[in-house]
Copies of this chain bind each other. A is one copy, B any other.
Amino acid sequence: MNILSYGLLGLLAREPRSGYDLTQYIKPFWPAKHSQIYPLLGKMEHDGYLTFDLIRQSDKPDKKIYTITSKGIEELKRWIDEPTSDPVNRDEMMLKAYSIWLTDPEKAIRLFEEREKMHAERAVYYESLLVKLKEDDQGEQRYLSPGVPTFSRYILLTKALTDSKNAVEWCQWVLSMLKKG
């Protein structure tokens, strides 16, 4: 049970999903490829944290729908009280920014403009997910109450959105200095 496996349990605690679905949903919060996730799900099933049902499909490939067990729920609750490891942020861009003084300003400008675009696109994406969340809520603002799963999703999406916006602003700030010279 590594950290990723708790992330997967957290998704399955809301509703049963396939490995394929889990790979998509976990991505913004804990990047991982399907080649890491599929074997891990097998191990978690073997250890009794999950069960699965094989769903035969004619139009699309067959799939395994994983469901969390009560043992899985207990393990998830236990984990929340354990010490939390430090965040790990690795961004090649930051290392390039550290050496940007070695290169010519045009190249530096191109680099930061690219990144600004990337983060702006992410911001749009997270914004759209937040809009969807609020639409599903139908004006009842249930997502503002801790204790419902939507609350957790709401605060995470908000964090992802502000992080993206801040990254865009930082790029713009650096660009303004690069263009002044």
At the interface, yes or no: A91 with Cβ under 8 Å from chain B? yes
Interface string of A128-166 (1 = CB under 8 A from B): 000000000000000011111101110110110011001
Q: Which chain B residues lie closer than 8 Å to A29 at the CB level?
A: 91, 94-95, 98
Instruction: Tell me the number of copies of this protein.
Output: 2
Q: Are B95 and A146 in contact (CB under 8 A)?
A: no
Docked-complex contact A100 and B152, CB < 8 angstroms:
yes
For chain A, what secondary structure do more than half of its interface residues adopt (helix, strand, loop), or is it mixed? helix
* Contacting residue for A170 out of B81, B162, B178, CB 8 A: B162
Are A94 and B159 neighbours in the complex by a CB distance under 8 Å? yes
Query: What is the number of residues of chain A that contact chain B, defined by CB distance less than 8 Å?
Result: 65
Q: Are A101 and B31 in contact (CB under 8 A)?
A: no
Contact B99 A30 (CB under 8 A): no
> What 8 pairs across the A-B complex have the smallest Cβ distances?
A87-B91, A10-B99, A7-B95, A10-B98, A85-B92, A88-B90, A89-B89, A98-B152
